[in-house]
Homo-oligomer: A and B are copies of this chain.
Amino acid sequence: MSREVIIRPLDAEAFAPFGEVIEARGVPSAMINQGKCARFTDLAALDFADGRAGISVFEGQSYALPLALTMMERHPLGSQAFLPLSDDPFLVIVAPDQEGVPGVPQAFLTMPGQGVNYRRNVWHGVLTPLERAGRFAVIDRIGEGNNLEEYWFEQPWRVLENTG
């Protein structure tokens, strides 16, 4: 089995098994502010086993491509949304669960204005800005207890751009 993952553009349909793409897409839910603002309402399924929703900020160092994907993680107690506080793209890596460990990963590159919400217990890579360090607002569970499971691959996956 090849250990290569080719990066694709982030797309709501392709991402649907893992969560939601948070973006201005399609018909607005409402036009507000005397018609000067389009509102797209309630785009992410927030799901917390307990605790409550909170807004945090992550400031993450950048990664270079091709990326050696050595670890994936998941959060058993809550969904986790990442909203970039810039126009810079970032890498979204997810994998289906396969008997308690990550299956074959999929990698997506965001466009400006796109965030993601990882469904509870979905395997995903760590925050991965590409071009430079990035700041993100994160909406996730605030509460006690261990909400982190990590899985380290015996052999890393190689995540790279489609140069074909």
Residues of A participating in the B interface, judged by any CB pair closer than 8 Å? 22-24, 28-29, 32-33, 36-44, 46, 52-61, 81, 83-87, 112-115, 117, 126-127, 135, 137-139, 142
Q: From residue A135, how far is it (CB to closest CB) to chain B in Å?
A: 5
Q: CB distance A85 to B115 under 8 Å?
A: yes
User: How many copies altogether?
Assistant: 2
Q: Would you mind naming 28 contact pairs between A and B with Cβ atoms under 8 Å apart?
A: A22-B137, A23-B57, A24-B57, A24-B59, A32-B58, A32-B126, A33-B60, A37-B58, A37-B59, A37-B60, A38-B58, A38-B59, A39-B56, A39-B58, A42-B55, A43-B56, A46-B52, A46-B54, A55-B83, A83-B83, A83-B85, A83-B137, A85-B87, A85-B112, A85-B115, A86-B86, A86-B113, A87-B87
Q: Is the CB of B55 within 8 A of A22?
A: yes
Least CB distance, A141 to chain B, in whole angstroms: 10
Residues of B within 8 A of A112 (CB): 85-86
- In the complex, chain B residues whose CB is within 8 Å of the CB of A54: 41-44, 46
Bound-complex Cα distance A85 to B22 (A): 11
> Which interface residue of A28, A56, A115 has the most chain B CB atoms within 10 A?
A56
Name the residue of chain B whose CB is nearest to the CB of A125: B33
A65 vs chain B, min Cβ distance (A): 16
Q: Decide: A33 and B85 in contact? CB cutoff 8 A.
A: no
Q: Do residues A113 and B85 form an inter-chain contact, with CB atoms below 8 A?
A: yes
Which B-chain residue is minimally distant from A88 (CB atoms)?
B87
